[in-house]
A = this chain, B = another copy of it.
């Protein structure tokens, strides 16, 4: 198969790449990377950052989750729905807010799930502040549409949506925590429900309870080491 994805079902970044492949109807081989044991293929394909996801297409590696999404959208331009909107201004906006998601969410997210040291409460607060701003972005650009500025799942939906299973897992693990508070972010909460009930999304996104098990196992391993 000339399209391979190096990923992990537990990585929201890998989920992004996989979701883009499935939305475009691209056949691919999934190669799961196991945490803590970087494969030779990964090290050779992404020698700069040594991180998943990596898309290997016709033996050429493409790295960085949102760049992979954009590559998939460009290479398989005629397949399925467009991921980046056709209008240059809408594209610039989608890229801007996807970068905002990547500037603001991964670090506190890693703190919340215990991959980085820090105050979990502060990190959850930080994520909520980011989501509050995205609620206003959605209000401005949705105009009655189901997703960010459009009727189908696009670039910014993928960027943000792939964190939703983990947000739910964190809520399950922390009684009383409500990351995506429906009362404060009604539009985003509805958007999240729509995103998660999409059939293609369901194929890709891990169930929150699977993530809870995974997180517990990681915590036990971390204590043993």
Contact = CB atoms under 8 A, between A and B. Distances in A.
A91 interface: yes
A147 B88 CA distance: 26
Nearest to A73: B88
B99 A71 contact: no
B48 A70 contact: no
Contact of A67 (B60, B74, B99): B99
How many copies of the shown chain assemble into the complex?
Answer: 2
Interface residues of A, number: 21
Interface string A47-64: 010000000010010111
Contacts of A67: 92, 95-96, 99
- Residue from A57, A62, A68, A88 whose CB has the most chain B CB atoms within 10 Å: A88
Interface of A: 48, 57, 60, 62-64, 67-68, 70-71, 74-75, 88-89, 91-92, 95-96, 99-100, 133
